[in-house]
Amino acid sequence: MAVGRITRFNMTSLALGLAFLYLPIVILIIYSFNASRLVNVWGGWSLRWYHEFFGDRAMLDAAWMSLSVGAVSATLATLLGTLAAIGLARGERFRGRALFSGMLYSPLVMPEVISGLSLLLLFVALNAERGFWTVTIAHTTLTMCFVTVVVQSRLTSLDRSLEEAAMDLGCDPLRAFLLVTLPQIVTAIVAGWMLAFILSLDDVVIASFTTGPGSATLPIRIYSEVRLGVKPEINAICTLVIGLIAVIIVIASFASKLSSTRGESAAPF
Tell me, by CB under 8 A, how many residues bind another protein: 23
Measured between alpha carbons, how far is 203 from 200 in angstroms, rounded to an integer?
Answer: 5
26, 108, 165, 246: residue in contact with another protein (rule CB under 8 A): 165
174 belongs to the binding site for another protein (CB under 8 A): no
Q: What's the Cα-to-Cα distance from 98 to each of 21, 101, 105, 172, 192, rounded to whole Å?
A: 37, 5, 11, 28, 22
- A 10 A CB-CB count for 43 gives 12
262 belongs to the binding site for another protein (CB under 8 A): yes
183 belongs to the binding site for another protein (CB under 8 A): yes
257 belongs to the binding site for another protein (CB under 8 A): no
166 belongs to the binding site for another protein (CB under 8 A): yes
Which range of residues in 61-69, 136-144, 252-260, 261-269 is near another protein by CB under 8 A?
A: 261-269
Q: Are 192 and 102 in contact (CB under 8 A)?
A: no
Nearer to another protein among residue 129 and residue 168 (C-beta)? 168
Nearer to another protein among residue 127 and residue 159 (C-beta)? 159
DSSP tag of 45: B
Q: Are 139 and 203 in contact (CB under 8 A)?
A: yes
Measured between alpha carbons, how far is 74 from 43 in angstroms, rounded to an integer?
Answer: 40
40 belongs to the binding site for another protein (CB under 8 A): no
For the bound state, the minimum distance from the C-beta of residue 95 to another protein, rounded and expressed in Å, comes to 14
Determine the residue type at 29: I
Measured between alpha carbons, how far is 239 from 204 in angstroms, rounded to an integer?
Answer: 17
Nearer to another protein among residue 127 and residue 261 (C-beta)? 261
Nearer to another protein among residue 122 and residue 167 (C-beta)? 167
162, 226, 246, 250: residue in contact with another protein (rule CB under 8 A): 162
